[in-house]
Structure formats: structure tokens, C-alpha cells
Amino acid sequence: MRDFRELKVWEKAHALTLAIYRITRNFPSDEQFGLTVQLRRAVASIPTNIAEGCGRGSERELARFMSIAGGSASEVEYQLRLAWDLNYIGDEMYRKLNQETNEIKMMLNSFIHKLIAKS
């Protein structure tokens, strides 16, 4: 077992989650049960799956949960694009959050490749 809090990718995913929770407070109220909740669930799923994978007993299981986290990051990437297209977030915020999401995806992919190489 690993301590997920020691992983840089978890730290970045947690920070992204906090940022997205903050910005979605400003989404229109009619999105409360739509894009707001979808985006929040997807972004929270990233650090959640990292943490769960760290609690598993093998590198193979950890790699599987990192892969699931990567899928959630791709979901966030699309939902951010949708929020930007709907003018719920501005250009600068979109670029910043999109860049952070892509950095997390790259870190997850790198970690997965390292775990697979150990197997």
C-alpha cells in the first residue's frame, strides 16, 4: 500500500478538484443538476481513484485505478470545453484548467507505464 498524499499527481488532482468546485459555484442555477454536478463528480473521481488504487495490494490494481482516473480526467477535459463553449468560464480560466487537466493526464500515463514496466 502507498500513501496517496505523497503522490504529486494526487496533489495536482486535488487542487484541480478544489478549483473546479469553486468555479462551478458561478454556473447558472439551471445547471445545478446538469453540467455542475457532472463536472464535479468527474473531477473528484480523479483523486478518489488515485487514493483507492493506493489502497490496493498490487501494482497491477494500482495501474488499473490510475487508468480509471485518466478516463475521468478526459471527461473533465470535455466538460470544461463544454462550459467554455457555453460561456460559463472565460478564455483564461478555460486554458488554465485545461492545461492542469492535461498535465494530470500525462502524469497518470507516465505512472501507469512505470507500474506496467515493473510487472
Count Cβ atoms below 10 Å from residue 93 Cβ, excluding itself: 15
| Per-residue pLDDT tens over the stretch 6-38 | 999 999 999 999 999 999 999 999 998 999 999
| Per-residue pLDDT tens over the stretch 61-113 | 999 999 999 999 999 999 999 999 999 999 999 999 999 999 999 999 999 99
**Which residues lie closer than 8 Å to 90 by C-beta, 6 or more apart?**
84
Distance between CA atoms of 37 and 2, rounded to whole angstroms? Answer: 30
- pTM score of the predicted model: 0.95
DSSP code string of 86-107: TTSS-HHHHHHHHHHHHHHHHH
**Is the pLDDT at 119 greater than 70, yes or no?**
no
Q: Are 112 and 66 in contact (CB under 8 A)?
A: yes
Domains of the chain: 4-118 (1.20.1440.60)
**Is the pLDDT at 114 greater than 90, yes or no?**
yes
